[in-house]
Structure 1
C-alpha cells in the first residue's frame, strides 16, 4: 500500500509538473531539435563549400594552364607567319612583280636616246615610265600589305583549329606541341593557297591597278613638283580608285580562289549547301570559307585601311629622308627614285620595316588576338 501511494504521488507530481511546465518543455525541445538540425545543415553546408572551393581551385588552375598554353601557341603561330610562311610568299611575290612590271627597258631606252630621241618619242617613253613606276609602287605596297595580313589570317585560323582539335582529343591539360590532328594535306594546301596572289591573281591585279594609276595621273606633267604630301595624296587617290572599283570586296579574288568557282556564290551558306549535295566538303574547303568570311568582314576592312595608311606614310617619310623629297622635285626626277625605293617594300620579312610596322600596329595585334581566341569551335 505504501509503495502504491508513493507511486500515485509521483504520478500526480509528474502530471502536475507537466501541466505546469509543458509549454516550456515544448519550447525547449523545439529549440534543442532546431539547434541540432541547424548544426547538421551547417555542417553539411560547410562540407559542400569546402568541396566547391576545391573544385573551383582546380578549375582556376586548369584555366590558367589553358591560358598559358593558348598564349604560347598563339605566339608560336605569329612567329611561324613571319619566319616561314610569309618569308617564302614574299620572295615569290617580289620575283613576280619584277617579272611582270619591268621598267629597265624603258629607262635604258631613255638613257641611250639622250639627245637623239625625237621629242614625241621621248615624251611617250616618259609617260610609259610614269605609269609603270606608279603601278609597280602601288602594286607592291598593296600586295605586300594584303599578303602579310592574309597569311596572318590563315595561320591564326589554322592554329585555332589545331588547338581545338587537339584539346578535344586529349583534354586541355595535355601538352599540344607535338600533336597534329588536322589532315596534313589540307593544312599544306591551305597554307600554299597564299601563293594564289602571285600566280593566278597577279595579271588581273596589275591591270586594275594600272587602270587606277592611269586615271589619277591623267594630265600630270613631268615638270609638276611633287612634295611628300603630294606623293602621299596621289598614292592614296590611286588606292581609293582601285579599292572602290568593281563589286564590294572584289579585291579578295586577287588573294584567293573566287568563291563561286570552288563551292558556291554565298560564303555563309556554302557549307550548308554542300552538306546536302553530293560534293564532299573537305577541311580545306571549311578553312577557305572561314578565311573568306574574315576577309570580307567589316573588322578586316578597317584593319586593311589602317595598314595601308601606315605603310604609305612610312614609305613617303623614307622617301623624304633618303631622297630629299621635303622641298619637292619634278615628277621626272622623282620616278627613278621611286624605282630605287620599291625593292625595300618587298624585301624579306626580317629586314622589312614596313611589314614590322604593320605587324606592330595595336589595332592589327588586337584583331588577330581576337581572331585566334574567338574562332567558332
Structure 2
C-alpha cells in the first residue's frame, strides 16, 4: 500500500499528462472523423447536384432542339405556304407580261415603255417584299416557338410536382397556345396590303431614275435592293415594321416583373395575352433589330449572287446586263425566295447565320429560367 502511494505520488503528474494527451487525441480524432464524414457528405451532395444540373442541361438541350425542329418542319412551312399564296395573289405579274406579249405588235412605243416601267417597279417590289417577308416570318416563327417552348418547359417542370391546379391550367392554356402560333399568319392575312403599298412606294422612289437600257452589275443590283430596303425600313416611327407582323393591340398594359426571372409577365390576363406581349417585347429589342439587319444583309448578298450566276448560265457571276433583261430574272427570283422552307436556300441561310443561332440560344436559355 505504501509503495502504491509512493508510486502514485511520484508518477501522478505523468499519468495526468498522459491521460490529457490521450483524451485530446481522442477528441481530435473524433473531430477529424466528423469533419471527414461531413466532407464525404458534401462531396456526395455536390456530385448529386452536378448530376442533376447535367440532367437538366441535357433535358433543356433536347427540348431546345425539338422546338427548333418543330419550327422548321411544321410551323414555318405552313406559314410560308400561306404567305407565298397571298403574295402571288396580290402581286400577280403574269397579267402585265401577258399584256406585253399580246400587244407587242399593236402597242405604241410609249405604251410599251409605260408597261415595262410598271413591270420594273412591280418586279423589284415583289422580290424585295418576298425577301423581307421570308426573312421576317422565319425569325418571327422562331421567336414564337422559343417563347412557347419555354412556357411548355416550365409547365412540365411544375407538373412534376403533381398539382391538380397546374394540370387544369395547362389544359386550359392549350387554346391560347394554338391561337398564339396562329399569329404567324398575321402578315399574310392582315399586314400584307399595307406592306405592299409601302414597299412599292420605296421601290418606285429608288427606281425612278433607272432606265431600262441602264446596265446593271452585281454591285449596282445589290445597292439598288439595299436602298429599297433602307427606304422602306426608314418609313414611319422606329420599329414600325412590327405592325406588319403583329396587331397593334399586342402592346398590352398592366405588366409586373416576374419574381422568378427577368421577363415581364401580365399581372392579369390570359396566357395568350402574355405570349403576345413577350413576343412584342422580343421584336422591339435592340438585339432582335440587329438579328434582322444581319439576316437581311446576308439574304440580299445570297440573292444578288444567285441572280447573276443564273443569268450567266456558266456557274460564275456574269459581269453586267441591261435592266430590261434583268427584270424577268428579278420576277422569277421572287418565287424561288418563297419556296418551301426545307428546300429553300435562303431560309436555310438565315437559320445558319451565327448571330441568329446565338440570339435564339440566348432567348431560350434566358426564358427557361423557372
Same fold (TM over 0.5): yes
Q: Retained in 2: the 8 A contact 1:165–1:181?
A: no
Residue in structure 1 matching 2:291, options 270, 295, 303: 303
Q: Which residue is equivalent to 1:355?
A: 347
Computing the radius of gyration from Cα coordinates, the structure with the larger value is 1
Matched, 1:292 2:280: yes
Pairing 1:149-298 to 2, within 5 Å after superposition: 149-170=139-160, 183-259=173-249, 263-264=252-253, 275=267, 280-298=268-286
Pairing 1:107-146 to 2, within 5 Å after superposition: 107-146=97-136
After TM superposition, where is structure 1 displaced by more than 6 Å over at least 4 residues in a row?
Answer: 266-269, 271-274
Query: CA offsets, 1:53-75, max 9 Å, x none?
Result: 22222222222222222111111
Residue in structure 2 matching 1:333, options 304, 313, 325: 325
| 1:28, distance to aligned residue in structure 2 (A) | 3.6
**Equivalenced residues, count:** 354
Residue 142 to residue 191, structure 1, CA distance change in 2 (3 Å) = same
Q: Which residue is equivalent to 1:38?
A: 28
| 1:97, distance to aligned residue in structure 2 (A) | 0.4
- Mind listing any 5+ residue stretches in structure 2 that lack a counterpart? 163-169, 258-262
Residue in structure 1 matching 2:356, options 360, 364, 369: 364
| Worse-superposed segment, 149-158 or 182-191 | 182-191
SS in 2 for 1:222: coil
Q: Retained in 2: the 8 A contact 1:145–1:307?
A: yes
| 1:15, distance to aligned residue in structure 2 (A) | 3.8
| 1:272, distance to aligned residue in structure 2 (A) | 8.3
SS in 2 for 1:288: helix
Normalization by structure 1: what TM-score? 0.87
Q: 2:296, 2:264 → 1: CA distance?
A: 35
| 1:34, distance to aligned residue in structure 2 (A) | 2.1
Residue 320 to residue 181, structure 1, CA distance change in 2 (3 Å) = same
SS in 2 for 1:200: helix
| 1:30, distance to aligned residue in structure 2 (A) | 3.5
CA RMSD of aligned residues (A): 2.4
SS in 1 for 2:212: coil
Residue 319 to residue 305, structure 1, CA distance change in 2 (3 Å) = same
Query: CA offsets, 1:276-306, max 9 Å, x none?
Result: xxxx500111111111111111111111111
- Mind listing any 5+ residue stretches in structure 1 that lack a counterpart? 1-5, 173-179
Normalization by structure 2: what TM-score? 0.89
Q: 1:220, 1:48 → 2: CA distance?
A: 81
Q: Which residue is equivalent to 1:344?
A: 336
Q: 2:78, 2:4 → 1: CA distance?
A: 108
Matched, 1:323 2:306: no
